[in-house]
Chain A
Amino acid sequence: MAMNHPIETKIYKRWFESYLFPSSLFMLALIGSMIQLNMSPKLFWEGIPHFFSLVSEMIPPNWEVFSKGKILWSILETLAMAFLGTLIGCTGALLCGLLGANNLTPSKLIGETVKRALAAERSVPPLIYVLLLIVVIGLGPFAGMIVIALGTTGMLGKLFAEAIENVDPKPLESLESTGATKLQIIRYALLPQVIPSFIANTLYRFDINLRFALFLGVVGGGGIGVDLQMAMSLFRYADALAITMVTLAVIWSAERISDYFRKRVIGQEVLQ
Chain B
Amino acid sequence: MMKRYKNLLLFSGILSPLIVGSSLLCRVDLMALVRGIPRATELIIRMFPPAWGTFPDLVRPALETVQIAFVGTAIGAFVSFLIGLMAAHNIHSRRLLRQTTRTLLSAERALPDLIVVLFFVAIVGLGPFPGVMALALGSIGMLGKLFADSIEEVDPKPLESMAAIGATKVQMIRYALLPQVIPALIAHTLYRFEVNIRMSVFLGVVGAGGIGYNLVTALRLLKYQEAMAVIITILILVTLCEKLSEISRKAIIGNELLK
Contacts and interface: CB of A to CB of B under 8 A. Distances in A.
A2 interface: no
Interface stretch (B48-56, B94-102, B232-240): B232-240
Nearest to B18: A83
A127 B215 CA distance: 9
A47 B124 contact: yes
Given A84-B28, A136-B43, A142-B28, A54 B215 contact: no
B192 to A, nearest CB: 15
23 contacts: A30-B70, A33-B71, A36-B67, A39-B132, A46-B124, A77-B25, A81-B22, A83-B22, A125-B198, A127-B201, A128-B231, A131-B216, A136-B39, A137-B36, A138-B32, A142-B28, A214-B115, A215-B112, A215-B202, A218-B114, A222-B27, A229-B206, A248-B111
B118 A77 contact: no
Residue with the highest number of chain B CB atoms closer than 10 Å, among A37, A80, A228, A252: A37
Contact of B219 (A50, A135, A247): A135
Interface of A: 29-30, 33-34, 36-39, 43, 46-47, 50-51, 54, 76-77, 79-81, 83-84, 87, 123-128, 131-132, 135-138, 140-142, 144-145, 211, 214-215, 218-219, 222, 225, 228-229, 232, 237, 240, 244, 247-248, 251-252, 255
A132 B122 contact: no
Contact of B112 (A51, A211, A232, A240): A211
A132 B230 CA distance: 12
Contacts of A214: 112, 114-115
Majority-rule SS of B interface residues: helix
Residue with the highest number of chain B CB atoms closer than 10 Å, among A123, A135, A248: A135
Interface in B66-87: 67-68, 70-71, 74
B158 interface: no
B209 A142 contact: no
Given A37-B68, A87-B19, A131-B227, 14 more contacts: A33-B67, A43-B124, A51-B123, A54-B122, A76-B25, A84-B26, A126-B202, A127-B201, A215-B113, A218-B114, A219-B205, A228-B115, A228-B118, A252-B110
Contacts of B227: 131
Residue with the highest number of chain A CB atoms closer than 10 Å, among B32, B123, B235: B123
Contact of B209 (A37, A76, A141): A37
Give chain B's interface residue range (CB within 8 Å of chain A): 35 or more
A126 to B, nearest CB: 8
Contacts of A215: 112-114, 202
Contacts of A84: 19, 22-23, 26, 28
A39 B22 contact: no
A77 B123 contact: no
Contacts of B128: 37-39
